[in-house]
Amino acid sequence: MIEAAVAGANALTRRWAGTVGSGDSVAVSGAGVWPLLAYLAPAADGAGGDELAAAIGLPAADATEAASALVGLLGSAPGLRAAIGAWVHPRLQLRAQWRDSLPPGSVGVLGDPALLDAWVREQTGGLLDKLPITVDAETLLVLASALVARTRWIQPFDDGMLVATTGPWSGRRLAGLHRTTAERDLLAVYETPAGPVTVLTVEGADGIDVDVAIGVPEAPAAAVISAAIDAPAAVPARRGSQLAEGDTAPGVTVDLGWAYDDSPRLLVSLPRFTVTSSHDLLAHAEVFGLLTVSDLSTQRLSGVSDFPLGVGAAAQDLTASFTADGFEAAVVTAFGMRAGSAPPSGRPLQVRLLLDRPFAFVARHRPSGLVLVAGWVAQGEPAAG
């Protein structure tokens, strides 16, 4: 069942990413929304249930088991933390079957909204500080999920400076991250309908990888994000070790450098970034299967309660940070290394990846393939000073 849940959540992220524009930095997490939709799907009536089942990619009869499997994975895997919370108004009586479908201990009484905000801070370690919807006197039920992914790079980057000479970031001084490795096949080039896309996999120590991807300058953000999401299942046109002197690809040049030996290497430079996003899910209700269940004129969720219910608000807040040490790391540590004083004589083949214009990123749970967060970096972090 976990394979079906992962496939459904990834498909939701891909569809959602298809709505992303190229103008601003943005991040989305279908993995954060998918369990909530799956818990609601068996409880929805008629067309509402059909729409939710289509959104999660599973029959409603399988949705609860799949949601529990995904929440279990997210709550137990190294580097990940997840929780489901439900808060019920004292005058609303839930159906026992639906209440029991939620994780044990996840249902509470809806009262002071500050307590829900405190739950958000507790579950995210302070990365987010409040619920993304407004709880008022008319709110009868809140269903929420929290997801945190943290990892440290197996090979850290060095902090430095990055100054683009062309493109939309030309002349800007950015907080650069730089790394050299012999593992050229961490980089691959894929052919897509929007043109070639270069994808670099940055490996984390906790089974979490972050892929950064750059297309041709005119490629839409949605197309580049989609290519990064699909990369593990696709066959690359060229891997880093297959690139020869003079070859090019988006963000990539290949030449001969100077070093103390002739071992080929991969040189990576990109800006440090933090992306924060707030989304009104009802603005794209069709993506999430929420069109019918957000119509408050009739009973839409009879499996939740005898009392007429509908989804009056649905939102997501997200923050994602890529630093020298890891993904969503709170502390930045820089390593400086220096070679000896003997003059270099080797001429190694150098595959250079320079992300000096907008690019995509995808954070993924390596063992399951679950996409945790996907996004677009329209602006890198400015350099200090």
Of the pLDDT bands very low, low, confident and very high (cuts 50, 70, 90), residue 13 is very high
CA distance 62 to 56: 10
Alpha carbon distance 336, 334 (integer Å): 7
Cβ contacts of 214 within 8 Å, gap of 6 or more: 197, 198, 224, 250, 251, 355, 357, 358, 359, 360
pLDDT band at 110 (very low <50, low <70, confident <90, very high): confident
- Write out the DSSP string of 125-172: TTS--S-SS---TT--EEEEEEEEE-EEBSSPPEEEEEEBSSSTTBT-
What is the predicted pLDDT for the residue at 258?
56
More confident residue, 341 or 161: 161
Contact 41, 49 (CB under 8 A): yes
Give domain limits for the chain.
2-22+29-76+80-149+279-317, 152-272+323-377
Residues 220-243 pLDDT 10s: 999 999 999 999 888 888 888 888
8 A C-beta contact, residue 6 and residue 352: no
Of 30-39, 342-351, 371-380, minimum mean pLDDT range: 342-351
Work out the mean pLDDT of the chain and round it to a whole number. Answer: 86
Residue type, 168: P
What is the dotted CATH code of the domain comprising 152-272+323-377? 2.30.39.10
The 10s digit of each residue's pLDDT in 90-101 is 888 889 999 999
Angle (CA) 336-342-345 rounded to 5° is 100
More confident residue, 384 or 185: 185
Both tokens assigned to 327: 């993904």
Per-residue confidence (pLDDT) for residue 385, from 0 to 100: 63
pLDDT digits (tens, 9 = 90+) for 259-281: 555 677 788 999 999 998 989 99
DSSP code of 328? S
DSSP states of 248-310 as a string? EETTEEEEE--BSS---EEEEEEE-EEEEEEEEGGGGHHHHT-TTTT-TTS---TTTBSS---
Whole-number Cα distances in Å, 71 to 17, 35, 82, 379: 22, 7, 7, 32
Tell me how far CA of residue 367 lies from CA of 74, 148, 218, in angstroms. Answer: 12, 17, 33
Question: Helix or strand or coil: residue 52?
Answer: helix
Could you give the CA distance from residue 291 to residue 112 in angstroms, rounded to a whole number? 29
Residue 301, token pair as written in the block: 């969720």
| CATH code for the part of the protein at 2-22+29-76+80-149+279-317 | 3.30.497.10
Give the pLDDT of residue 75. 83
**Residue 98: predicted pLDDT:** 92
Give pLDDT, residue 335.
17
Model confidence at 338: pLDDT above 80? no
pLDDT digits (tens, 9 = 90+) for 18-55: 998 888 999 999 999 999 999 999 999 889 999 999 99
Q: What's the one-letter identity of residue 355?
A: L
**8 Å CB contact between 33 and 281:** yes
Give the Cβ contact number of residue 194 at 10 Å: 16
- Tens of pLDDT, residue by residue over 278-334, are 899 989 999 999 998 888 777 678 898 888 888 888 999 999 999 999 986 222 111
Tokens 């029959």 correspond to: 59
pLDDT at residue 266, rounded to an integer: 87
CA atoms within 13 A on the CB side of 138: 9
In degrees, rounded to 5, the angle at the alpha carbon of residue 6 between the alpha carbons of residues 235 and 65 is 155
Instruction: For 309-335, give one letter per residue: b (16+ CB within 10 A) or e.
Output: bbbebbebbbebbbbbbbbbbeebeee
Q: Round the CA-based radius of gyration of the chain to a whole number and report it.
A: 23
Average pLDDT, integer, range 95-114: 90
User: How much is the pLDDT for 163?
Assistant: 87
Q: Which of 81-95, 205-219, 298-312 has the highest mean pLDDT?
A: 205-219
